[in-house]
Amino acid sequence: MKQKLFFSITFTFLASLASSQTCLRSCGRIPLRYPFGIGEGCGDPQFQQFICCNGDELTFKTHTGSYPITNIDYTKQEIYITDPSMSTCACNQPSKGFGLDRNAPFDFTEDTIFTLLECSIDSSPIFRGGNNSSFPMCDQQGSPICSYLYSCNAISLLNLPISTCCVYTPVDLGPSFEMDLQTLQCSSYSAFYSFNGQQSNPENWKYGIALKYKINVYNYYPRFCKDCEKSDGICSYAAASSSFFCNCPTGINTSSSCYYVQSYSNGFRVLPWLTGIFLVHILAWILRWVSL
Ligand SMILES: *[C@@H]1O[C@H](CO)[C@@H](O)[C@H](O)[C@H]1NC(C)=O
Ligand SMILES: *[C@@H]1O[C@H](CO)[C@@H](O)[C@H](O)[C@H]1NC(C)=O
Ligand SMILES: *[C@@H]1O[C@H](CO)[C@@H](O)[C@H](O)[C@H]1NC(C)=O
């Protein structure tokens, strides 16, 4: 009995030694790769302030709120987020809107479409000077989208005129995009990034916001990170020393790939195991003597 307990304590202790990697490999089911990183100093500092891992939920932060990330497409360099306050075909609910931070290295993909719902025809600035095309905020080509959305049960119940809907395309839908629904005098909004091949079936649209990101000015994936990730490491950038480093599965940081540190660190990993096993045997021996 005592022996068993001792074994399990030793094992737990040794297991904790082995998993000392600072940077997270994934958050929930979303794998983390450069430029994203969770853990102190992990990933690219330019991106650190915008993502966060709450338990097993990866979230995207802006000044308007915190939004669950549903997927990251590293090849297309896009992240997909949902806003729990936005409306879909299944649910219409009030929202304050959505905004991107001015300094964020993110922008909307061309597929992302915002639709303002339940806007006040009398007071909403989006309709003011409606005939005046000098500042078109609502896309007239988007009226079919409004029709489809207003045909959804959750919205059709409200019996609102279709003119209270606006497919929102302000001139600058770029960084620092601000959709303040209170100012715009609308009660809710919907966003989606794909018709999912069925434009006339709003129930199946892919609701959410797709954002693209740029790694650096030239937007090329650092060669160092490719090598680091190939060797099972997590690529990060240290702003203080303006240099990349690779956080290896053993916890060691290297300025090359983890292949080079593997053989060296294996020695260190095996040592505590051997010491542990040795101690377990001695203690088991002592325990046996005491109980005799
Ligand atoms: C590796 O780098 C991370 C991030 O900067 C740091 O938190 C960690 O302590 C470093 N690990 C070692 C073993 O130096
Ligand atoms: C249309 O825009 C022009 C220029 O911005 C402005 O002078 C004019 O008052 C506007 N007309 C209406 C009806 O809003
Ligand atoms: C908008 O302009 C068209 C043609 O310029 C005009 O016939 C129409 O009455 C205008 N509508 C409003 C609401 O001002």
Residue 120: which domain range? 27-213
Neighbours of 29 (CB within 10 A): 9
In a domain, 98, yes or no: yes
Q: What is the DSSP letter of 42?
A: -
Question: What are the helix and strand counts (H, E) for the chain?
Answer: 7, 17
pLDDT reported for residue 17? 47
- 91 and 115 co-located in one domain: yes
Q: Are residues 35 and 2 in the same domain?
A: no
**Residue ranges of the chain whose pLDDT lies below 70:** 1-19, 128-136, 171-175, 261-279, 292
Residues 132 and 155 reside in one and the same domain: yes
Nearest CA, atom 8, ligand 1: 22
**Distance between Cα 22 and ligand 1 center (Å):** 6
42 and 185 part of one domain: yes
Domain membership of residue 236 (yes or no) is: no
Question: For the segment 192-239, what is each residue's pLDDT rounded down to a tens digit?
Answer: 999 999 999 999 999 999 999 999 888 889 999 999 999 999 999 999
From the CA of 253, the nearest ligand is 1
pLDDT value at residue 11 = 45
pTM: 0.76
C-alpha pair distances (Å), 104 with each of 48, 62, 208, 215: 10, 9, 18, 12
Q: Ligand 1 site: residues with CB under 6 angstroms?
A: 22, 40-42, 247, 251-253
Strand, coil or helix: what is 226?
helix
pLDDT the model gives residue 15: 43
Find the 18 Cα to ligand 1 centroid distance in Å. 15
Beta bridge partners of 68: 59
In a domain, 200, yes or no: yes
Mean pLDDT computed over every residue of the chain: 85
Coil/strand/helix, residue 99: strand
